[in-house]
Structure 1
Amino acid sequence: MSTQPTSERPIPADVPAMAAARAAIRSEAEAVAALEDRLNGRFAAVVDLIADSSGRVVVTGLGKSGIIGRKIAATLASTGTPTVFVHAAEALHGDSGMVTPVDVVLALSASGETAEVCHFAELVANRGIPVIAMTGRAACRLNDLASHVLDVSVPREADPLNLAPTTSTTAQLAMGDALAIALMVRREFTESDFATFHPGGSLGRRLLGSE
C-alpha cells in the first residue's frame, strides 16, 4: 500500500474529472478578469447613488442569486454601507414594506427574468425607489425596470452541461465585492471602523489588539 500523501500523488492531466475541474477554474477566472473593463461610468454612477443615499441598500434575489445576494449584503454591511437582504419571494408577501423611500434596491438575477425578483423590482420602482439590476443579459425585464445596470454576463457556465450556476454566480460575487470595496474607499472606511462592526472572532481580536 502506498504511503505517499494523496495531495502529493501525481494526477494525469487527461483524467476527465480533473480536466473538467481545471477548465472550471479557468472559466471562472476569465469571467472575473473580464469584469474589470465593466468598471466604467455606469459602475461609478452606482457607487455615487449608494454613497449619496441617506437610506440602506436592500439586496434581493432568488435561488443561487439569492445566496450570492446575502453574501454581498453582508460584505456591504461590514464595510460601512448599511445593507439588508430581502428574499424576493417573501417581498411579495409583505416584506416589500421593509423598503423605505430613501433606500436603494440591488436586484440580482442572472437571466434578468426571474419572476419574483422582477415583480419586487417593479413594486419598488413604482414607488420611486431606485433599482440597480445585476444581470447577465443586456435585454431583459429586470434591466427595463432598473435605473442602473451592472453587467455580469459570462460566456458560459463552468460545468460541462452549461447549466449549473457557477461562473455566473462567481461573477456576481466579484462584482458585489468590487462595489463594496469602492464604497469602502469612498467612505474612507478605516480599520478602526471595521473593528467596531466586527468585534467577534479571531479577526475582531486581532483588530482590537487582544491576540
Structure 2
Amino acid sequence: MPASAQFTDPSLAGPAPASADVLAIARQVLHAEAAALHDVADALAATPDFVSCVQAILQLKGRVVVTGIGKSAHIAGKIVATLNSTGTPALFMHAADAIHGDLGMIQPEDFVVAISKSGDTPEIKVLVPLLRRKGVPLAALVSNADSYLGQQATYILHAPVTKEACPNNLAPTTSTTAALALGDALAVCLLESRQFTAADFARLHPGGTLGKRLYLKVGDLSRQNQRPQVTEDSPLKEVLLEISGKRLGATAVLDAAGQLAGIITDGDLRRMLGSFSELEKLKARDILTPHPATIDVEDFAAEALARMQQRNITQLVVTEDGQFAGFIHLHDLLREGLV
C-alpha cells in the first residue's frame, strides 16, 4: 500500500469498539435507513409527479438519461442498469462530464433524470439551463424539493432525508439508499406497466447463471447426450453394456410399441445383485423401475434441477410429444453452472 494511502495520524485513531458496539452501530444504521424509506414512500402520496413521470417515460420515443455528481453518479449508474435490464432504454451521463462534451449524447426525444440530494450543487446549476435549452423533460430526484433543481424540473421525484446515517451527517448514506430505492420503484412501475415478463427478462440476460435459468431448455442439453435404451426383453448383459457404454448411469426400457416402460439405473443393478441368483436369465423387464420421473424437452433446465433435487436423483428421462427423447443428467446442469 502506498504511504499516502496509509492512515498515518495516530491522534485521530480511537480505541477499537467492542463487538457489541459494532453490532449496535450497524443496527442503528439499518434502522435509520429503513425509516427513511418509509418517509420516501409516504412522500409519494403527497405529489402526483411520480405517476406523471412514469406516464411520460412510457410514452417516450427516446431514452432515459440519468445523471448525477459524486455518490449520486454511482446511484445513477445502477438505476440505468436496472432500467436497461427491465425494458426501458437508458444511458448514464456524469453531470461533470456533461458540461465538457457529453451533453451531446442527449437527443430531442430523450428524458433526463437528475439525482442530487441538495439540488444545489454547482455542476447541477450549470447543467440544468443547458438541459432546458435542449427542451427535454427533466425529472429531479432530490431530497430538497425547494432546491434549484427541484424548482427547474418538470417532475419532482421526492426522496426526503432529514439526516444521514453517518454520525457526522456528512457521508452520503441514507440519502443514496433513498435515491436508489426510488429509482428501483420507478423501474418496477415501468416494468409492470409494460407487462414485462420473465421471458422478456431472459432475452436481455442471455449470459451467466441467471440468464441460463431463464432461457436454457431441457432439450438444449439432452440432445447433446447419447440415448441409452433397451427393450423389455433385452438380457442383463445388453443392459449392462448400454448403461456403461452411454455413460449416463441409466437406460430407458421401451416396450414392443416403442413406448417408455421404465428405467434401469446403476443403483437398480446393484440392488439386483442381492435379489437374484440366476442372473443369466434376467431380462430388462425383471429389474426395471416403472413410471420413472420424466421432463419435456421444452421445460426449463432449472426445472429439471428442481425435480432432481426433490426426488434425490441424478437423471431424468426426457420426453418429446410423449415419446422417449433421451436423458438429462445432473452433470449437464453442473457443466452449465446451474448447480
State the TM-score, normalizing by the size of structure 2: 0.57
Once the two structures are superposed, what CA deviation does each residue of 1:66-111 show, in whole Å capped at 9, x if it has no partner? 0000000100110000000011111111110100000000000011
Equivalent residues, number: 199
Cα distance in 1 for residues equivalent to 2:122 and 2:111: 20
Answering whether residue 28 of structure 2 is matched by residue 23 of structure 1, we say: yes
What are the ranges of 5 or more consecutive residues in structure 1 without an aligned counterpart? 1-10
Once the two structures are superposed, what CA deviation does each residue of 1:90-141 show, in whole Å capped at 9, x if it has no partner? 1111110100000000000011012212322221112211100001112211
Answering whether residue 153 of structure 2 is matched by residue 165 of structure 1, we say: no
Q: Name the SS of the counterpart of 2:166 in structure 1.
A: coil
191-200 vs 166-175, greater mean Cα deviation: 191-200
168-177 vs 138-147, greater mean Cα deviation: 138-147
What are the ranges of 5 or more consecutive residues in structure 2 without an aligned counterpart? 1-18, 217-300, 302-337
Alpha-carbon shift at residue 153 of structure 1 (Å): 1.5
Q: Name the SS of the counterpart of 1:132 in structure 2.
A: strand
Aligned 8 A contact 1:20 1:160 in 2: no
Aligned 8 A contact 2:113 2:141 in 1: yes
Q: Which has the higher strand share?
A: 2
Match of 2:65 in 1: 58
Match of 1:197 in 2: 204
Q: Which has the higher contact order (CA 8 A, sep 6+)?
A: 1
Alpha-carbon shift at residue 20 of structure 1 (Å): 1.9
Aligned 8 A contact 1:198 1:204 in 2: yes
RMSD: 1.4
Aligned 8 A contact 2:39 2:160 in 1: no
Aligned 8 A contact 2:145 2:151 in 1: no
129-138 vs 38-47, greater mean Cα deviation: 38-47
Cα distance in 1 for residues equivalent to 2:81 and 2:212: 20
Q: Name the SS of the counterpart of 1:86 in structure 2.
A: strand
Cα distance in 1 for residues equivalent to 2:61 and 2:128: 20
Answering whether residue 97 of structure 2 is matched by residue 90 of structure 1, we say: yes
Cα distance in 2 for residues equivalent to 1:199 and 1:118: 40
Cα distance in 2 for residues equivalent to 1:66 and 1:118: 16
Aligned 8 A contact 1:108 1:117 in 2: no
Aligned 8 A contact 2:86 2:201 in 1: yes
Q: 2:75 aligns with which of 64, 68, 71?
A: 68
Aligned 8 A contact 2:71 2:176 in 1: yes
Cα distance in 2 for residues equivalent to 1:70 and 1:117: 17
Q: Name the SS of the counterpart of 1:126 in structure 2.
A: helix
Q: Name the SS of the counterpart of 2:134 in structure 1.
A: coil
State the TM-score, normalizing by the size of structure 1: 0.90
Q: Which has the higher helix share?
A: 1
Match of 2:191 in 1: 184
Aligned 8 A contact 2:44 2:158 in 1: no
